[in-house]
Amino acid sequence: MRADLTDVTLIVDRSGSMQSIRKDAEGGINSFVESQKAVPGELLVTLVQFDNEYEVVCQAIPVANVPYYRLQPRGATALLDAVGRCIDETGVRLAAMPESERPGLVTIVIVTDGRENSSRRYTSHRVAEMIEHQQSVYQWKFVFLSSDLNAVADAEELSIPEGALAHFNADAVGQAWHVLGDKVVAARKARALHRDVEIQFSDDERQQMQ
């Protein structure tokens, strides 16, 4: 396992309701990617966008090669299907890597503006079991950001640590991505030094998202 290698997956809501914050969300995602480029060590980025469909924009590519992201809102919010499928696909991908080449830090970031409303394949119970397994067995880190307080409450039932859940104001989505970027930078640096990593938002950081 490589302490200098981080694998980050962004699961981004592109449902129709994202239209009201489209420009800021798009800018925030691209700024997040830029913020990671100067950090020592390697970072592989996967970007998944979802509505009632699931699309992989890029998968496990060096952060320097991540394309500029364009957000085009549409459709409903199949959040559970997106998260469940992404965990399954990430697990298969990492399992295929030699143990010595696997990333020392794996982080899944989920960003949405609303609640689950159209999943067909995965249930909240199943996704919670999957997240709990990856956290306890493989030490994956999960982060959940939403402009909907009810969605944040729902995420608590998915076994995501309370400290890694955060609500952001719709007009502060760019700042939410900025705070997230700083947290991921800190986590990458800590892991490179073989330190334990926890991604948790402080009260001050939460305030910055309001």
Backbone angles phi, psi at 38, to 5 degrees: -90, 0
Expressed as residue numbers, the domain containing 135 is 2-208
CB 106 within 8 A of CB 44: no
How many domains does the structure of the chain reveal? 1
Q: Tell me the C-alpha to C-alpha distance, in Å, between residue 65 and each of 27, 45, 58, 151, 173.
A: 17, 9, 9, 32, 24
* 150-201 pLDDT tens trace: 889 889 999 999 999 999 998 999 999 999 999 999 999 999 999 999 999 9
User: By three-state DSSP, how is residue 77 classified?
Assistant: coil
Q: Report H helices in the chain.
A: 22-36, 79-95, 124-138, 149-156, 173-192, 203-208
- Looking at residue 178, what is its pLDDT? 97
Helix axes 173-192, 22-36, angle to 10 degrees: 20
* 24-55 pLDDT tens trace: 999 999 999 999 999 999 999 999 999 999 99
For residue 89, give the CATH number of its domain.
3.40.50.410
Give the gyration radius of the chain's Cα atoms: 16
